[in-house]
């Protein structure tokens, strides 16, 4: 059973895009501090699944040439993190679907910049993926503190999933065999992090194996990479938080850098040199292309993947033809022969309702484009060709600055308008035949039921729940609560300060207006509601257990909406192709708000609550959030208003699904802001649900603006904790926002503590 489960899990992870997958038994973390250990997050856990995505060699060998501040193709690391987030989230759901518990950890998860309680580590994540990759037998530690795999050296990024599934652990690597202390990381570190303020070495001790590396001052390491300070500036002998803030005031930001410890590191047996190609070592590949063009089957698979992933147009050109027309492009990939252009779709939505909370598809469309560009570069590299992925954007330093200008002009000539359109390209040494391919969606045939087809398409995109309501049912339900919620005073904040330095804001005040489907689309007939669950253990561990972590919950907040928006975009494309209109909304009725998050504000758990209930996806609890029969309150929703006539779903058993609310006041009493202001009655068909609603300004003080440490931010070590006045005004909010923690204000982590107190969300201990 364990072997089969382990094999299926690895197969699934590879299917989601992982290049390496390993398993570590959770006992391998026995010596790790509980505040950043899987044992601290899930004491009953048994295994940690660790997945890696490999940087293309072009990203490392071409990125950062000339200056670490000129990242170039290395900037695709951001997409790698987004891809790893998908792998982590999907794999947690994989285990949940098989009856196990799982906590997905985000790929880039610095939460605690400072020492926290007994944890002496700085820039501490919930758990270190670097150390996890060692525990899973994928890597050893290099002197720089980066994990080195035998295949790729440090050219990997990792993600981890903690589970109580009994997986079979992979054997550990011996230790101290991949790093030969060549000194390249010391020689090339722009901030001298390998040679100054180094406190000797430290070691991981795991099952009799030793993995040693430099004990660095991570504030020095973060000088440029994290805080964007000029790496050519003279660094003081001691670098810490006050020095960083002072230097930001003095010097300002130049921009992030590529880590030279990554660029110049490879195991000895993978290391070769060609200084005319790159100042960094060239990785010896296991595969060598023996012909200039890949097999036709490879080309067809790549193109099929592109359109299945949401590409709208894929154009392949000879690099020589582009250079003949626009000028030299060789600095982007010296041995490049072909360019693969990828354009995705970012539909601009319009609602007739003022202040409508429309879904911005920018991230979803850009992810699709980046996924295709990266896939082309990565898969061709596996066959022995070189590959460098790029997205259109400016570059400040030559020679890439001129190259980007030429490629932008080429994109304008090819695609027309490029502003706001996700366009990227991959350069490769493979000689690909020129082509111009446009996506086209199949028509709806007479044998296909529209409602069933939409459900199937939505589930193919990975959503957990699909519900349908008539526009009329939702309109009547919204009218039943209009008297209680409409007209509430809402405050909006616009940041005017400087990153890391100033906390100034401008505040506007307006009145809430509730919306019905017809406000968004006059011809509205139906509403499709999509739901994606957040992993139950992400809520279960929030702020408690030895790790006291909020990171997994914050990850679930934003990744659930990323996945929802990508699914909604694909569904909207189908609707449009079949001749129907659609408007996608993060909060159709406008009865919710947002919650502060390290990846930007996301809709809170009150968003789309009326639509979800009307679409048969649950009931409302006493606290006013949706409870689903299988996933409890751990679901997030997006709504699509359409003029398509769809079959309406039956309502859930609204009363039995809230039986625990009888005699329970936990959601009300545990609200850290005493924000619940009154009762409302939601009428759906012939059923009525009484619930409590919040004073939105008080709720937003904690959740949306992150000013109340008890609403989650304290678990990151943030110093932000500003008591709210009895009457919250625009002026008092602006004053409070200026008191936020200067470092951690850019990574706010808030949790809906009313829901955390609900037995439908997680087990309750008091």
Are 41 and 5 in contact by the 8 Å Cβ rule? The answer is no
Same domain, 146 and 267: yes
Whether residue 391 is found in the same domain as residue 506? no
Residue-wise pLDDT for 6-59, tens only, equals: 999 999 999 999 999 999 999 999 999 999 999 999 999 999 999 999 999 999
Q: Which of 249, 282, 315 is the last residue of a domain?
A: 282
Last residue of a domain, one of 412, 438, 464: 438
In this structure, is residue 313 part of a structural domain? yes
Q: Are residues 98 and 141 in the same domain?
A: yes
DSSP string, 444-467: PPTTS-HHHHHHHHHHHTT-SEEE
How many separate domains does the chain show?
A: 3
Do residues 659 and 569 share a domain?
Answer: yes
Position 289 in a domain:
no
Please check whether residues 485 and 371 belong to one and the same domain. Answer: no
Q: Decide if 519 is inside a domain.
A: yes
Q: Identify whether 401 is part of a domain.
A: yes
pLDDT in tens, 581-628: 999 999 999 999 999 999 999 999 999 999 999 999 999 999 999 999
At 397 the pLDDT is 83
Q: What is the mean pLDDT of residues 138-148?
A: 97
| pTM strictly above 0.85 | yes
Give the domain-ending residue among 282, 304, 335.
282
DSSP state of 149: B
> Span 546-572, mean pLDDT?
96
Q: Is 625 left (phi over 0), alpha (psi -120 to 50) or beta?
A: beta
Same domain, 374 and 273: no
From the CA atom positions of the chain, what is the Rg in Å? 26
The H-or-E segment that residue 95 falls in is helix 77-97
Which pLDDT band holds residue 447 (cuts at 50, 70, 90)? confident
Over the stretch 305-348, which tens digit does the pLDDT of each residue have?
999 999 999 999 999 999 999 999 999 999 999 999 999 988 98
Cis peptide before 221 (omega within 30 of 0): no
- Residue 338 belongs to a domain with what CATH number? 3.40.109
Mean pLDDT for the stretch of residues 235-256 = 92
Domain that holds residue 208: 2-282
* Inside any domain, residue 444: no
Domain match, 628 and 528 both? yes
Whether residue 631 sits in one domain with residue 523: yes
Is 288 among the domain residues? no
Instruction: Judge residue 249's burial from the number of C-beta atoms within 10 Å of its C-beta, 0-12 exposed, 13-18 middle, 19 or more buried.
Output: exposed
Shared-domain flag, residues 350 and 304:
yes
> How many helices (H) and strands (E) would you count in the chain?
23, 29
Tokens coding 354: 């003022």
**216 and 307 both lie in a single domain:** no
Flag whether pLDDT at 465 surpasses 90: yes
Per-residue pLDDT at 277? 97
In a domain, 761, yes or no: no
Residues 478 and 429 in one domain: no
Residue 487 backbone zone (phi > 0: left; psi -120 to 50: alpha; other: beta):
left
Q: CB of 612 within 8 A of CB of 626?
A: yes
Is 443 within the bounds of a domain? no
Pairing of strands 338-344, 110-112: unpaired
- Same domain? 562 vs 541: yes
């Amino acid at each position: 059973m364990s072997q089969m489960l382990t094999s299926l899990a690895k197969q699934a992870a590879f299917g989601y895009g992982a290049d390496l997958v390993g398993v570590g038994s959770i006992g391998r973390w026995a010596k790790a501090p509980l505040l950043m250990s899987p044992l601290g997050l899930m004491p009953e856990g048994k295994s940690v699944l660790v997945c890696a995505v490999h940087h293309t060699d072009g990203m490392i060998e071409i990125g950062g040439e000339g200056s670490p501040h000129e990242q170039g193709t290395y900037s695709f690391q951001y997409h790698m993190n987004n891809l790893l987030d998908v792998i982590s989230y999907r794999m947690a759901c994989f285990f949940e679907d098989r009856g196990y518990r799982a906590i997905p950890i985000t790929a880039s998860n610095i939460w605690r910049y400072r020492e926290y309680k007994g944890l002496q580590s700085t820039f501490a994540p919930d758990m270190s993926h670097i150390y996890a990759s060692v525990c899973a037998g994928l890597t050893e530690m290099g002197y720089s503190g980066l994990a080195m795999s035998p295949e790729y050296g440090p050219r990997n990024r990792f993600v981890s999933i903690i589970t109580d599934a009994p997986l079979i652990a992979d054997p550990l690597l011996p230790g101290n065999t991949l790093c030969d202390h060549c000194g390249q990381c010391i020689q090339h570190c722009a901030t001298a992090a390998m040679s100054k303020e180094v406190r000797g070495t430290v070691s991981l001790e795991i099952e009799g194996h030793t993995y040693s590396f430099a004990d660095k001052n991570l504030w020095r390491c973060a000088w440029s990479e994290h805080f964007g300070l000029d790496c050519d500036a003279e660094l003081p002998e001691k670098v810490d938080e006050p020095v960083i803030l002072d230097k930001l005031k003095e010097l300002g930001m130049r921009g992030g850098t590529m880590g030279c410890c990554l660029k110049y590191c490879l195991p000895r047996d993978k290391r070769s040199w060609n200084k005319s190609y790159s100042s960094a070592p060239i990785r010896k590949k296991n595969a060598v292309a023996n012909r200039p063009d890949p097999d036709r089957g490879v080309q067809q698979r790549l193109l099929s993947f592109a359109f299945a992933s949401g590409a709208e147009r894929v154009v392949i050109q000879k690099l020589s033809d582009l250079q003949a027309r626009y000028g030299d492009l060789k600095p982007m990939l010296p041995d490049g022969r072909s360019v693969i252009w990828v354009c995705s779709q970012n539909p601009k939505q319009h609602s007739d309702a003022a202040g409508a909370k429309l879904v911005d598809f920018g991230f979803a469309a850009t992810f699709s484009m980046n996924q295709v560009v990266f896939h082309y570069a990565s898969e061709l590299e596996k066959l022995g060709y070189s590959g460098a992925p790029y997205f259109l954007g400016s570059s400040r330093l030559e020679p890439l600055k001129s190259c980007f200008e030429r490629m932008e002009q080429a994109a304008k000539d090819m695609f027309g308008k490029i502003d706001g359109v996700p366009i990227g390209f991959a350069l490769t040494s493979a000689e690909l035949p020129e082509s111009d391919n446009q996506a086209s969606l199949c028509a709806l045939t007479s044998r296909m039921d529209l409602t069933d087809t939409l459900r199937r398409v939505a589930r193919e995109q990975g959503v957990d729940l699909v519900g349908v309501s008539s526009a009329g049912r939702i309109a009547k339900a919204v009218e039943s609560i209009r008297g209680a919620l409409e007209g509430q005073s809402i405050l909006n904040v616009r940041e005017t300060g400087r990153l890391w330095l100033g906390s100034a804001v401008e505040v506007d005040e307006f009145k809430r207006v509730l919306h019905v489907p017809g406000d968004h689309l006059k011809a509205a007939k139906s509403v499709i509601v999509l739901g994606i669950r957040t992993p139950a253990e992400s809520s279960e561990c929030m702020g408690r257990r030895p790790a006291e972590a909020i990171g997994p919950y914050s990850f679930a907040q934003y990744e659930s909406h990323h996945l929802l928006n990508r699914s909604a975009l694909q569904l909207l494309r189908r609707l449009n192709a079949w001749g129907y209109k659609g408007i996608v909304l993060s909060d159709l009725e406008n009865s919710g708000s947002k919650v502060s998050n390290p990846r930007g504000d996301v809709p809170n758990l009150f968003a789309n609550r009326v639509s979800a209930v009307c679409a048969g996806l649950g009931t409302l609890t006493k606290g006013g959030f949706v409870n689903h029969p299988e996933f409890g309150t751990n679901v997030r929703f997006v709504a699509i208003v359409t003029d398509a006539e769809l079959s309406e779903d039956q309502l859930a058993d609204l009363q039995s699904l809230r039986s625990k609310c009888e005699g329970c006041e936990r959601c009300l009493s545990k609200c850290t802001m005493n924000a619940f202001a009154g009762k409302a009655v939601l009428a759906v068909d012939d059923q009525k649900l009484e619930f409590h609603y919040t004073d939105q300004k008080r709720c937003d003080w904690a959740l949306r603006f992150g000013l109340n440490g008890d609403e989650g931010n304290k678990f990151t070590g943030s110093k932000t904790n500003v008591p709210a006045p009895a009457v919250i005004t625009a002026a008092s909010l602006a004053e409070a926002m200026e008191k936020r923690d200067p470092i951690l204000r850019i990574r706010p982590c808030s949790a809906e503590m009313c829901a955390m107190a609900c037995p439908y969300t997680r087990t309750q201990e008091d």
